[in-house]
Homo-oligomer: A and B are copies of this chain.
Amino acid sequence: MDKRKVEVCFNPENLEYYDISNSHVVVVDILRATSAICAAFANGARSIIPIPTIEEARLAKEKGYMVAAERDGKTLDFADFGNSPFNFTADRIAGKDIAYSTTNGTKAIAKASDGLSVAIGSFPNLGAVAKWVKLKETGNVMILCAGWKGRFCLEDALFAGALAENVLSDSRFATKSDSVQASLQFWSLAKADVFSYLEQVAQRHRLKKLGLDDVLEYCFTANSTDKVPELVNGKLMVQ
């Protein structure tokens, strides 16, 4: 039997060049959307509704939803909060439905929905999302990086490498993809000391300038939660 293929796409803008109709898609936006989504479910959120545009996020607020929304790291004025994982505390969001719109992450989730199934990946749920992939009996794997406004992001590719390494250690999976090889290389260079490696990541410095880099330890520490948010009928939920 042919092995199940592992693929990485560095930007949602390039996803159209891949056939994902037979792939389980893991969406990755490490700084900070998918890390924050994992934090929300770790703290008991009921669902998260990904919202592509600012206008739709505003409409959700008017309809009474709790709204998390940012652009370029800054919370939008009408939103309840932005996309720091630390915003999604249990006292605030447990049992709630949250409308969520971010610069790059929600666009990636929307594009991913052509796949067989869609899950949210981040270092906090690395082991859990790898297990989610491996528990599926068939289908390829697409790790979809959110990137940054159509450009390559090292931190997303780094996570793609960590996840690909885990999945490829299972002999049912294989890859012939240059973007997977590249991601594995980033992870091999970084894994002994991730925080030193991050010094070269542009988004790390963007967040520092905005005073938002307190999230680094949370965003790059693996396996603090076993929750895997999945997209079901346009909503992210955990089973």
Contact = CB atoms under 8 A, between A and B. Distances in A.
B151 A18 contact: yes
Given A152-B179, A154-B182, A10 B13 contact: no
Nearest to A205: B176
B185 A189 contact: yes
A177 interface: yes
Nearest to A10: B152
Interface in A1-21: 9-11, 13-14, 16-18
B182 A14 contact: no
A186 interface: yes
A177 B148 CA distance: 11
Interface in A175-217: 176-179, 181-182, 185-186, 189, 200-203, 205
A17 to B, nearest CB: 3
A51 interface: no
B150 A178 contact: no
A152 B152 CA distance: 10
Interface string A151-178: 1111001000000000000000000111
Contact of A182 (B9, B16, B152): B152
Nearest to A151: B17
Given A13-B13, A185-B189, A178 B151 contact: yes
A150 B10 contact: no
Contact of A186 (B14, B153, B185, B200): B185
A149 interface: yes
A179 B150 CA distance: 12
Given A13-B14, A14-B150, A202 B182 contact: no
Contact of A17 (B13, B176, B178): B13
Nearest to A179: B152
A16 B202 contact: no
Interface of A: 9-11, 13-14, 16-18, 148-154, 157, 176-179, 181-182, 185-186, 189, 200-203, 205
16 contacts: A10-B152, A11-B14, A13-B13, A13-B14, A14-B14, A14-B150, A14-B151, A14-B152, A17-B150, A148-B178, A152-B178, A152-B179, A152-B182, A154-B178, A157-B182, A178-B201
